[in-house]
Amino acid sequence: MAIDKTKLIEEIQKHLVKGKWKDAVSGMEQLFAMNPDPIIRVRMGDAYQKLNSRPEATREYVYAADLYAEQGAVVKALAQYKLALRIDPNHRRAIDRMSALHSNKVIVEKKAEPVDEGKSKPANSAVPLFAGFTQGEFEEFAKLMNVHQFASGEIIVREGDKGKSVYIIASGSVKVYTKMLSGDIVDLAKLMPSEFFGEIAFLTGKPRTATIETLEDTVILEMTEDKLQELIDKHPHVRDVLKDYSEMRLKGTIETVISKSVD
């Protein structure tokens, strides 16, 4: 007898709420057979982590990453390989597949990554940034990044802070806003998956120019200031790539602030 997809999803949700991780995994395996969406393998990896089944969790994150890479979703793939490597730092397949992302078609041809149904395309994809790196620079950049998972409403960076990490959104979305001299809050942008932010503070040495807050559950890739500086010391070209990317995005931000001030 055919399985009702809606009922199956409801059952999976019930298992997750009750912490019945094994039952949830079983249901998600059935759901994946009906709808091979990589996010299902990601959620299976999360469930295996709850079960403390680390090899299985790693396997699922790598599986999801491979599927994302096939779709051209490079940043999502990168985040999943990083999740796998956070569990098993020496996982050979994850290391090799992560390095191979630099030759992915979307990077080579500087195409925008595919977006989820109903979502808008990012204004400034990280793919052009990656395309500016050599293979070696990309490998080291990816290797040095950390992956973080945020809930909705969390502030990642706050205007005026001195932190100088740079970030890439793997999934979810964030809003960017600033406080004018009048005290009014001005929304500058909504950033989507594959968009990059935080490089201005690193390049200028000045405090953060805006606050960035998650709009939903969001996965972020972070490169800390010390690691990025270490990479630039070894590969000075990386700073040039960041600078070019930043100038492209800063132009759009300035235009937004001016238009808001005039309104």
d(CA 51, CA 205): 43
d(CA 4, CA 7): 5
Q: Over the stretch 35-90, which tens digit does the pLDDT of each residue have?
A: 999 999 999 999 999 999 999 999 999 999 999 999 999 999 999 999 999 999 99
Cα distances from 133 to residues 1, 37, 101, 110, 180, in angstroms, run 52, 30, 12, 12, 36
pLDDT tier for residue 258 given thresholds of 50, 70 and 90: very low
SS (H, E, C) 145-200: CEEEEECCCCEEECCCCCCCCEEEEEECCEEEEEECCCCCEEEEEEECCCEEECHH
Max distance between CA atoms of the chain, in angstroms, equals 65
Per-residue exposure over 205-235, b if at least 16 CB sit within 10 Å of its own CB, e if not: eeebbbbbbbeeebbbbbbbeebbeebbeeb
Residue at a domain's end among 109, 129, 159:
109
Residues 103 and 118 in one domain: no
> What's the structural domain count of the chain?
2
Q: Which two tokens stand for residue 164?
A: 């100088």
Residues 103 and 159 in one domain: no
Residues 123 and 88 in one domain: no
Q: At 22, phi and psi to the nearest 5?
A: -65, -45
CATH of the domain at 7: 1.25.40.10
CATH of the domain at 212: 2.60.120.10
Residues 134 and 246 in one domain: yes
Residues 220 and 192 in one domain: yes
User: Does residue 252 surpass a pLDDT of 60?
Assistant: no
Are the CB atoms for 238 and 133 separated by under 8 Å? yes
Half-sphere exposure of 245 (CA within 13 A, CB side): 26
3-class SS at 221?
A: strand
The pLDDT of residue 263 is: 52
Residue 221 β-bridge partners: 147, 168
Residues 61 and 190 in one domain: no
**What distance, in Å, lies between the first and last C-alpha atoms of the chain?**
61
Residues 139 and 42 in one domain: no
Residues 166 and 260 in one domain: yes
Q: In this structure, are strands 146-150 and 185-191 parallel, antiparallel, or unpaired?
A: unpaired
Mean pLDDT, rounded, for 106-112: 86
Residues 189 and 149 in one domain: yes
3-class SS at 116?
A: coil
Residue at a domain's end among 109, 135, 152:
109
Residues 32 and 50 in one domain: yes
- Which range marks the domain in which residue 28 is found? 1-109
d(CA 62, CA 56): 10
d(CA 66, CA 46): 17
Residues 151 and 63 in one domain: no
Mean pLDDT, rounded, for 147-163: 92
Instruction: Please name the residues in contact with 181: beta carbons below 8 A apart, sequence gap of 6 or more.
Output: none
Residue at a domain's end among 80, 109, 138:
109
d(CA 126, CA 195): 5
Q: Whole-model pTM?
A: 0.86
Residues 105 and 117 in one domain: no
Q: Over the stretch 158-182, which tens digit does the pLDDT of each residue have?
A: 999 887 899 999 999 999 999 888 8
